[in-house]
Structure 1
Amino acid sequence: MPAIPQYFLKQWGEPTQRIEADEAVLAQLAPSVPPLLIDYWRHLGFSVFKDGLMSLCNPLEWKPLIDEWLKGTELEQLDVFIPVMKGVYGEFKLFGINYGFRPKLSTVNGGYIGSREIPEIPLDVVIKVLFMTQPDDFLPATDPDDFMQVFHRHAPFGPQEMLGYVPALPLGGSRDYAKLQKVDAFAYLSMLRQITGELKGVMEYADIYK
């Protein structure tokens, strides 16, 4: 019987836009990821939750973009990563298919947070922890209530849409939520990576001060 992430559903509810995971896609992914992840995708699809605050990623669609962001970073040396979840503010929760690393990539901030320590727990447990995410995890730390006002103004969001600063921050844009617009995530994030310099990584406490 397929596993169902009950805690995830309790936090997120049913999808606001249901996108089924095609069996051909799951068959292509199955040799590379634990069966539990296939079960979750089969049950949840690559769906949109809470009007687009978070979407589950089809790795076949999103991995090339994530590889573009991780190229040259420490993460690239640690594992092979697939994106599992995308937040409307351009944050991705990643899963390392070999060792179970689960860093977070923040495209807006041009950085990532993770750990260099190989998880000493089975991959199935890592996946269960990953799916214990809550809606607050996808809100910016600064003025989340103001952010949500902007989010609701532009919602709903499709699986390939997000909120992006226009102009982008590296081009002199202002970190003012009023400057956020609904954008095509693939086009915006590809452009953003081209103008973002070296990504800053926090992999242990000392890295904060580098």
Structure 2
Amino acid sequence: MAFVLDEDFSWFLEQFGKPQLAEDVTENLIDTYKGLLPNRLFEYWRKFGFCSFKDGLIWIVNPNDYKSLVNTWLKGTGILETDNFHVFARSGFGVLYLWGEKTGRSWSIDPLNGRIFNNGSYQKEILAGNADDVIQSFFGIISPDTIDTKDSNTRNFIFEDAVSKFDPLKSNEMFTFEPAPFIGGERSLRTINKVNIFIQSEILASMGQREITDMKGLAKKTLG
């Protein structure tokens, strides 16, 4: 069956442009995840591959590559006992977007903030057979402004300047701030660096500061 572009992913492409650094996805890998991830995601894999958008601001990724990071960040939190999770996308600042087999796009991991974020459960939608709608909605609501970050001094978005300074990200790279914001680091072009995402995320997880929160908790922390 020919691929038909849905409205959500069409909007995503308008925001992020054409895929870059695309890597073909084998049918063997897709077979491994059948019944665990939405069928619509497999269609994106077949059409676009594992790839980046906007010089690495966001990536569609191979879940196999991120199994260790998921276990490292979620171990001891009790979250692993609630569902089986797979990374389906990640940002250029190392944020991992998780798909729960029972709960959908319910959690994300933000290493630079030492934060595990609860996006709410989509279990009702999954049980109703609407997993495709849930994954499409992720691509329909995300935008460059929601995953970029602002320089703490200039209040300007920083990713494009970071790319100019260090070149676009490769599949194993992310931008970080040294030190990381959750241990008092400053978000600025002066403190930014390009590093290996797997090594950096493991290091940040090993520091032990993992805040589990949701939108209400984040608002309370921000507004007081």
Q: TM-score range by the shorter chain?
A: 0.7 to 0.9
Whether contact under 8 Å (2:106, 2:122) holds in the other structure is no
1:68 aligned onto 2:72: yes
Q: Take 1:180 and 1:110, find their aligned partners in 2: how far apart are those partners?
A: 17
Alignment of 1:143-182 (within 5 A): 143-169=155-181, 173-182=185-194
Q: 1:72-128 deviations in whole A, cap 9, x for unaligned?
A: 225334322211211111112221122224323211001122245444322111111
1:108 aligned onto 2:112: yes
- Distance of aligned partners of 1:156 and 1:94 in 2 relative to their CA distance in 1, 3 Å threshold: same
Whether contact under 8 Å (1:147, 1:177) holds in the other structure is no
Instruction: Give structure 2 stretches of 5+ with no counterpart.
Output: none
- Distance of aligned partners of 1:27 and 1:156 in 2 relative to their CA distance in 1, 3 Å threshold: same
- Bigger CA drift: 167-176 or 25-34? 167-176
State the match for 1:139 in structure 2. 148
- Distance of aligned partners of 1:119 and 1:144 in 2 relative to their CA distance in 1, 3 Å threshold: farther
Question: Could you tell me which of 200, 203, 209 is aligned with 1:188?
Answer: 200
Question: Could you tell me which of 29, 34, 39 is aligned with 1:30?
Answer: 34
Q: Take 2:175 and 2:201, find their aligned partners in 1: how far apart are those partners?
A: 11
Instruction: Give structure 1 stretches of 5+ with no counterpart.
Output: none
1:44 aligned onto 2:44: no
TM-score after normalising by structure 1? 0.86
TM-score after normalising by structure 2? 0.81
Whether contact under 8 Å (1:170, 1:196) holds in the other structure is no
* Aligned length, in residue pairs: 209
Q: Take 2:99 and 2:47, find their aligned partners in 1: how far apart are those partners?
A: 19
